[in-house]
Amino acid sequence: MIAEFRLPDLGEGLTEAEVVQWLVSPGEKVALNQTLAEVETAKAVVELPSPYEGTVSSLHAEAGETVAVGAPLIAFDVAGEEPQTPTPAVEGAEAEGSEKTQPNLVGYGAAPTTAGRPARRARRIGGASPAADTAVLEAAPHDASPSASVETVIERPRSTPPVRAHAKRLGVDLVLVAAEVGDRLITRQDVDAYAERLAARSDATRTPAPVPGSAARPTGHQPDRETRIPIRGVRKHTAAAMVQSAFTAPHVTVFHTVDVTATMDLLARLREDRALSGHRIGPLAVVAKAVCLALGGAPGLNARWDEEAGEIVQHGYVDLGIAAATDRGLIVPMIRDAERMTLVELADAIASLAETARAGKTSPAELSGGTFSISNIGVFGVDAGTPILPPGQSGILAVGAVRRQPWEHAGEIALRQVMTLSLSFDHRIVDGAEGAAFLKAVADVLEEPGRAMLLR
């Protein structure tokens, strides 16, 4: 019998995922829990295990294709009676009362029904009267436009909320798309393809005839001279989060340039210590330790604004986010309970975090729930910036490059190693005095690492 596996609910409210690569192919025999594919959500790359033992019948998506939660992903030829396919609930579906929820290995969803797909609520198009008979639009010419009059009542096209929003932005009527793709779930690719056909026909009708004797000049849209990169995965999630943060929390950024010569001298001595030869302790680890110490005296910077409850929630722990630039985009994995760690433990945690992020193996759990973040812009040779707060956090510190430059020291001008710190904070929670005091506390530790012994 053929068993179909649909993309499961991967948690965190995610509605779609991109197939990174298939690890099986049609005709291949697979074992229970064998990894079928790697899919990339808006937060991480996830391995999907097989819920069946059998032979791969077909793949419903290609590598690089975005699949909606609940859409068919892969089909198996399995022995015995037809199994209940693990699948998440899809918008518009209604589970039979006698059926039980089946585990789908990543999330949970309603088991499929053999009675066919439930009817969807009707949508009225054009000037059809309430008494008009319900009908399904079976076909439409490829040159149909979104403004075409359809004097009938049709079923609501099968799609997910993100696809419907995408179609609305492009001005595409999903009814006309459904007429082309049939009764299957409409994807973003279907919407994009329909929009491109409309645009091509529109450009063709608007292109003016060349003036005799004039040289041809490229005008308007020039596909051969442009590169279009789909906005999806981590980049899509990051963009949405940054827009939400920038237009929700009133950002304030303050800067402080500090002499870190003593810190750099300390790190040089630690590198020569044979007992620490297996650890990579760098300036970022010292900054992380200084931040954890300084947050003890600045509770507003280790807090979040709870709009619904009308409360400011102060955290009694530090889940420290470390921004990491990867090939998939910017992610901010976190180190849990960072305030309990020694300098060496923080250095090891940062190194492990970076290695996992570069490999694309950061789990969704490591990307959620941070209380304060650090962005090391110094690795790019940048001195200062205005970092945007991760949603749900009230503070983020950007660490600039360490540079040797003339600096006043002990009443004289000398070549010293300096670094600029940039602190952005939510002005609803943190006022200027608390932000400045926190930044000064971090700077004091970097100027004189021995001062860390005086903080708790």
Q: Does the annotation mark 427 as catalytic?
A: yes
CA 264 to CA 78: how far, in whole Å?
A: 63
What stretches of 275-382 show up as alpha helix (H) in DSSP?
283-295, 343-358
Please state, in angstroms and as integers, the Cα–Cα distance from residue 370 to each residue in 42, 249, 377, 389, following that order: 17, 16, 19, 11
Decide: 29 and 50 in contact? Cβ < 8 Å. no
Q: Does residue 74 sit in helix, strand or coil?
A: strand
Nearest to 447 by CA among 408, 394, 413, 389: 408
Planar angle of CA 369, 374, 375, nearest 5 degrees: 120
Nearest to 443 by CA among 249, 255, 196: 255
Nearest to 284 by CA among 366, 374, 356: 374
**The two structure tokens encoding residue 411:** 């009443």
CA 318 to CA 303: how far, in whole Å?
A: 10
Planar angle of CA 446, 452, 456, nearest 5 degrees: 135
What 399-405 contacts at long range (C-beta under 8 Å, 24+ apart), as own/partner pairs, is: 399/283, 399/284, 399/287, 399/374, 399/375, 401/377, 402/260, 402/264, 402/283, 402/378
Strands 372-375 and 395-399: parallel
**The two structure tokens encoding residue 387:** 């970092």
Give the residue numbers annotated as catalytic, written as ranges. Answer: 427
